[in-house]
Amino acid sequence: MNPVITISSERLKEILERQKSKRICVFGDFYLDRYSIGIMECISREAPIPIVRLKTPQSTRHLPGAAGNVAMNLAGLETGVSVVGIIGDDMFGEHLEKFLSTHGVDTQGLIVAKDRPTGAFEKFYASAFHSRIQQVARVDTEAAKQITSGQEKLLMEHFHRQLNGCDGFIFADYAEIPGTGVITEAVLEMAAVASLKTKKIFIGDSRLRVDKFTEMMCVPNDYEAAMATGIYESHSSHAIDDATVVQAGRRLRKKTRKAVFITRGDKGISVFDEKDNYLFKPTLPLDGEIDPTGAGDTVASSITASLCAGATLEEAAEIANIAARVTVGKIGTTGTASSSEILACHDILSGV
């Protein structure tokens, strides 16, 4: 067996099968990912910028992004999925809600707001002659204001409707502009109380303030963990090395009072349990081109589903590594990893 892989094929099958009987709620910031893929052959005559020529109207695709991609990853694992969040009364919101519903996601908890646009990340990919395809530009659409007290109240009401019927919850704090997302201080307080009261699986994922997610297991990347714990300052600190990750993980675990998973890109996942024990699961080898877009969402989804299915922290981290390996091999998309893909990847790497 590959020394990086310790979970057996039988145990993996057991966990993946148990996931299918679980239901997980994703509460967070829902965006639409819009991909436009073409060829860059020349520079514009109007400005020093490349022209990307789309081959056909089908060269543009729409997929759920941010918390929407978390939900899609869970749907790919065949768990039951419900969502709580806000979309705008616009075309992007229609695309997002329809795509989620079509893939079996319960969208009754999505509030349609007339005073906010649906968040969107428009990503442009291009190749030139014999070069590989790569992302060349991105355009974001976001609400630039706080949600209203009425919207906040309605979001929390939707959460409480989900509380008894779900085995786990993911709080996906993905708003790019601070203070504009759906996970407010009141929502965090509500989640902490529910986590203590129900003893269900609560996972927090935040780009800017993961240290505020108390009573939840958190899944930040190394940069987010180091920034949130005051160890790393953007543009002024050295690289985030092993010692920095360990220090940040232990500080964060103390603040959140739950286990912490820190993703480390092509290195792997560091895990800190509630007794302050530390373990590291190295990433799995992958040849060829990769696209890391959305890999963090895959990890958060996989860890949550695995824990709901009775996996240990170590097993959850290892399965998430396998799922991420599947996802990053899908170029030009915020991909997902299905149970069958995870199992096939495991068996190939372990020589089964």
Q: What is the pLDDT of residue 35?
A: 85
pLDDT > 90 in the chain, percent: 67
Q: Per-residue pLDDT tens for 175-218?
A: 989 999 999 999 999 999 999 999 899 999 998 899 999 999 99
Half-sphere exposure of 320 (CA within 13 A, CB side): 36
Q: Please check whether residue 139 lies inside any domain of the structure.
A: no
Q: What is the pLDDT of residue 2?
A: 54
Q: Please check whether residue 36 lies inside any domain of the structure.
A: no
Q: Please check whether residue 37 lies inside any domain of the structure.
A: no
Asked whether 271 and 261 are in contact (CB, 8 A), the reply is yes
Q: What is the mean pLDDT of residues 215-228?
A: 94
Asked whether 252 and 225 are in contact (CB, 8 A), the reply is yes
DSSP per-residue letters across 100-141? HHHTT-EEEEEEEETTSPPEEEEEEEEE-TTSPPEEEEEEEE
Q: Is the pLDDT of residue 128 over 90?
A: no
Asked whether 320 and 303 are in contact (CB, 8 A), the reply is yes
Q: Look at 89-93, 283-287, 306-310 and tell me which has the smallest mean pLDDT.
A: 283-287
Q: What is the mean pLDDT of residues 288-308?
A: 83
Q: Per-residue pLDDT tens for 2-25?
A: 557 889 999 999 999 999 999 999
Range of the domain at 254: 9-31+66-118+144-350
> Which token pair is 237?
């600190």
Q: How confident is the model at residue 288 (pLDDT cuts 50, 70, 90)?
A: low
CATH number of the domain within which 215 lies = 3.40.1190.20
Q: What is the pLDDT of residue 127?
A: 84
Q: Please check whether residue 133 lies inside any domain of the structure.
A: no
Q: Please check whether residue 200 lies inside any domain of the structure.
A: yes
Output the average pLDDT for the chain.
90
Q: Is the pLDDT of residue 235 over 70?
A: no
Q: What is the pLDDT of residue 49?
A: 85
Q: What is the mean pLDDT of residues 86-97?
A: 96
Q: Please check whether residue 126 lies inside any domain of the structure.
A: no
Q: Is the pLDDT of residue 331 over 60?
A: no
Q: 206-209 — which CB contacts under 8 Å span 24+ positions?
A: 206/171, 206/173, 206/174, 207/173, 207/174, 207/176, 208/173, 208/178, 209/173
How many domains does the structure of the chain reveal? 1
Q: How confident is the model at residue 124 (pLDDT cuts 50, 70, 90)?
A: confident
Phi-psi region of 126 (alpha: psi -120 to 50; beta: other; left: phi over 0): beta
> Which token pair is 38?
């073409």
- When mean pLDDT is compared over 36-45, 197-206, 322-331, the highest value belongs to 197-206
Q: 3-class DSSP state for residue 167?
A: coil
Q: Per-residue pLDDT tens for 252-283?
A: 999 999 999 999 988 899 999 999 899 999 88
Q: Please check whether residue 292 lies inside any domain of the structure.
A: yes
DSSP per-residue letters across 253-320? HHHHSS-EEEE-TTSEEEEE-TT--EEEEEPPP--S----TTHHHHHHHHHHHHHHTT--HHHHHHHH
Distance CA 285, CA 207 (A): 27
Q: What is the pLDDT of residue 1?
A: 45
**DSSP element (H, E) containing 53:** strand 50-54
Distance of CA 93 to the CA centre of its chain: 19
Q: What is the pTM of this model?
A: 0.91
Distance CA 245, CA 251 (A): 10
Distance CA 152, CA 85 (A): 10
Q: What is the pLDDT of residue 4?
A: 72
Q: What is the pLDDT of residue 290?
A: 60
Q: Please check whether residue 224 lies inside any domain of the structure.
A: yes
| Partner residues linked to 201 by β-bridges | 168
Q: What is the mean pLDDT of residues 64-85?
A: 96
